[in-house]
């Protein structure tokens, strides 16, 4: 069915093309093409309102080649010029459509350095969001000459630590996608009526609308527009250059094949040149620090043997300098109960109200003051079961509990003796 329909369409295009060339233009052989015939036929179809004029030209081209006639370079050039002029004419007849979310669209297009035609053709299936890594990856054309070849991927991560969330590429993209349908072919930047993507010409109107809202001029002194479809691409490149991003990295990220991008950033890097003296001083400071580090390493190397084989007197002096912690005698005092874990009772080693809580310690080394909700203070340990006392804080009582029968066993033995 599709083959029959395709042949019928081709025959219809051939018949219409022959009619235009013989009846309108007066050529006897309608399929012996030359550049003037191509321009004439496309002009006539354009005036007649044929939106698929390229299909008629393709039919005439196929008939020309089928007759064994050469398809020369002149014919190729005329064909490309006629087709380009036709689509430009069709685009001019349609009213430009602006992006429905101009702020988010401008931020995203600037971060990814998009051309207006790339933004118009972007679809949801071209974007991958990695929530775990806070990363957004966008598949983009490798060059401006082949918009259908999506061979380049460019990624951005969350930058909220340095920028406002309203400028973070990750969170702006998340919020933007949340307002779009989840269909894979959904345009990333739909027009204001949400039925079609924002047009190539509508992007210039989008940027101009934002500029007017911010009170910025929108025309030059000669009346030319200040904001074009490349404004987001230029803005993103200049922003990166002003923040010390190397030019080769900007060129690579923006997929520029030549140094033409330099005319976009213009004098943006000059805003950082006032820090050259500071950077030079910092470089000198780093060099001095490296020299001092080398001297220190040499001194450590010379003393290495002494540290590896210390003298006995040195070890005796070190041992004498270690403070001795007095052994706890289990006398009544402040007892700390760990209420967050197993409910063990601990004896305090450092517990003074005039000290910061983070310095409070028990005998076993527990820093119970770091989280005051995790402990409870008691005045005495006498009524506390032996099994709930910390073995390190109460070593004597713990040893006594191990060496002697448990109180429960004693009670059972006494009860058995009483019955006898």
Mean pLDDT by 10 residues, the chain (420 residues): 42 64 61 78 70 74 85 84 68 65 92 89 91 92 61 89 88 92 88 74 86 88 84 90 86 85 73 62 69 79 61 54 43 72 82 78 84 73 80 74 48 43
Q: Are residues 44 and 149 in the same domain?
A: no
Phi, psi of 333 (to 5 degrees): -170, -165
The rounded distance, in Å, linking the Cα atoms of 277 and 284 is 11
User: What whole-number distance in Å separates Cα of residue 72 and Cα of residue 56?
Assistant: 19
| Residue 240: count of CB within 10 angstroms of its CB | 21
> Of 266, 298, 326, at which residue does a domain stop?
266
DSSP state of 286: H
Residue 417 within a domain: no
d(CA 115, CA 177): 20
Question: Is 278 within a domain?
Answer: no
217 and 139 share one domain: yes
Do the domain assignments include residue 222? yes
- Pinpoint the alpha helices (H) of 122-246: 169-178, 202-213, 231-242
181 shares a domain with 244 = yes
Tens digit of each residue's pLDDT (9 = 90 or more) over 56-96 = 778 778 888 888 888 888 888 888 887 777 655 555 555 56
**Residue 168 has what pLDDT?**
93
The residue out of 58, 73, 93 marking a domain boundary is: 93
Domain check: are 259 and 129 in the same one?
Answer: yes
Q: In terms of domains, do 110 and 229 share one?
A: yes
Clarify whether residues 29 and 140 are in a common domain. no
In a domain? residue 362: yes
Structure tokens at 350: 């450092």
The pLDDT value recorded for residue 406 is: 46
Are residues 113 and 248 both part of a single domain?
yes
- Please tell me the total count of domains within the chain: 3
Distances (CA, A) of 318 to 59, 315, 403: 99, 5, 37
Q: What is the distance, to the nearest Å, from the Cα of residue 215 to the centroid of all Cα atoms in its chain?
A: 30
Q: Rounded to whole angstroms, how far apart are CA atoms 109 and 140?
A: 12
Instruction: Kindly give, in sequence order, each residue whose CB lies less than 8 Å from that of residue 133, ignoring residues fewer than 6 positions away.
Output: 157
Contact (CB, 8 A) for 99 and 199: no
User: What is the DSSP annotation of 42-87?
Assistant: HHHHHHTT-TTHHHHHHHHHHHHHHTT----HHHHHHHHHHHHHHH
Instruction: Tell me whether residue 312 is in a domain.
Output: no
Q: Residue 170 is part of a domain; what is its CATH number?
A: 1.10.443.10
Beta carbons within 10 angstroms of residue 76's beta carbon: 11
Same structural domain for residues 107 and 86? no
Task: Show the domain range for 138.
Answer: 102-266
Q: How far is the C-alpha of 186 from the C-alpha of 184, rounded, in Å?
A: 6
Q: In degrees rounded to 5, what are phi and psi of residue 109?
A: -65, -30
The per-residue pLDDT for range 363-418, each reduced to its tens digit, is 888 888 876 557 888 877 777 788 888 888 888 766 665 554 444 444 444 444 44
The dihedral sign for the CA sequence 47, 49, 51, 56 = negative
| CB-count burial class (<10 Å; 0-12, 13-18, 19+) for 81 | middle
* Pair 168, 237 in one domain: yes
289 belongs to a structural domain: no
Assess whether 111 and 245 both reside in one domain: yes
Instruction: Give CA–CA dist 344/351, Å, rounded.
Output: 17
Asked if residue 368 belongs to a domain, the reply is: yes
Crossing angle of helices 73-93/35-47, nearest 10°?
20
Residues 124, 76, single domain; the answer is: no
Phi and psi dihedrals of 134, rounded to 5?
Answer: 55, 50
3-state secondary structure of 275: helix
Token pair 């943006």 in the structure block, residue: 268
Q: How far apart are CA 342 and CA 51, in angstroms?
A: 82
Phi-psi map region of 325: left, alpha, beta (phi>0 left; psi -120 to 50 alpha): beta
What pLDDT is recorded for position 194? 61
- Give the angle 271-274-277 at the CA atoms, nearest 5°: 145
Domain boundary among 39, 65, 93: 93
* Domain co-membership, 194 together with 252: yes
Phi, psi of 136 (to 5 degrees): -120, 130
């Amino acid at each position: 069915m599709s083959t029959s329909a395709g042949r019928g369409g081709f025959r219809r295009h051939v018949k219409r093309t022959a009619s235009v060339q013989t009846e309108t233009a007066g050529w006897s052989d309608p399929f012996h093409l030359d550049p003037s015939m191509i321009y004439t036929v496309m002009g006539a179809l354009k005036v007649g309102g044929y939106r698929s004029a390229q299909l008629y030209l393709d039919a005439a081209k196929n008939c020309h080649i089928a007759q064994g006639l050469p398809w020369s370079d002149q014919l190729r050039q005329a064909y490309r010029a006629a087709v380009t002029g036709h689509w430009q004419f069709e685009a001019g007849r349609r009213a430009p459509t602006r992006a429905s979310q101009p702020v988010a669209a401008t931020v995203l297009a600037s971060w990814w350095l998009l051309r207006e035609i790339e933004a118009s053709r972007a679809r949801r299936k071209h974007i991958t969001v990695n929530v775990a890594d806070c990363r957004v990856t966008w598949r983009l054309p490798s060059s401006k000459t082949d918009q259908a070849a999506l061979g380049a991927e460019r990624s951005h991560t969350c930058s909220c630590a340095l920028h406002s969330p309203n400028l973070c590429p990750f969170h702006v993209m998340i919020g933007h996608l949340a307002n779009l349908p989840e269909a894979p072919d959904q345009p990333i930047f739909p027009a204001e009526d949400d039925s079609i993507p924002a047009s190539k010409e509508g992007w210039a109107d989008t940027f101009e609308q934002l500029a007017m809202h911010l009170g910025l001029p929108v025309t030059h002194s000669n009346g030319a527009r200040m904001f074009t479809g490349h404004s987001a691409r230029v803005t993103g490149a200049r922003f990166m250059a002003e923040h010390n991003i190397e030019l080769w990295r900007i060129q690579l990220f923006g997929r520029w094949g030549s140094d033409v991008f330099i005319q976009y950033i213009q004098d943006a890097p000059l805003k950082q040149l006032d820090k050259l003296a500071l950077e030079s001083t910092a470089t000198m400071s780093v060099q001095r620090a490296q020299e001092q580090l080398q001297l220190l390493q040499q001194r450590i190397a010379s003393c290495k043997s002494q540290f590896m084989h210390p003298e006995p007197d040195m070890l005796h002096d070190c041992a004498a300098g270690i403070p001795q912690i007095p052994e706890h005698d289990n006398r009544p005092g402040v007892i700390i109960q760990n209420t967050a874990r197993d409910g063990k009772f601990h004896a305090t080693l450092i517990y003074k109200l005039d000290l910061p809580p983070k310095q409070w310690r028990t005998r076993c080394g527990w820093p119970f003051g770091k989280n005051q909700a995790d402990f409870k203070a008691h005045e005495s340990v006498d009524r506390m079961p032996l099994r709930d006392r910390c073995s390190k804080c109460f070593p004597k009582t713990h040893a006594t509990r191990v060496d002697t029968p448990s109180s429960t066993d004693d009670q059972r033995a006494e009860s058995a003796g009483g019955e006898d």
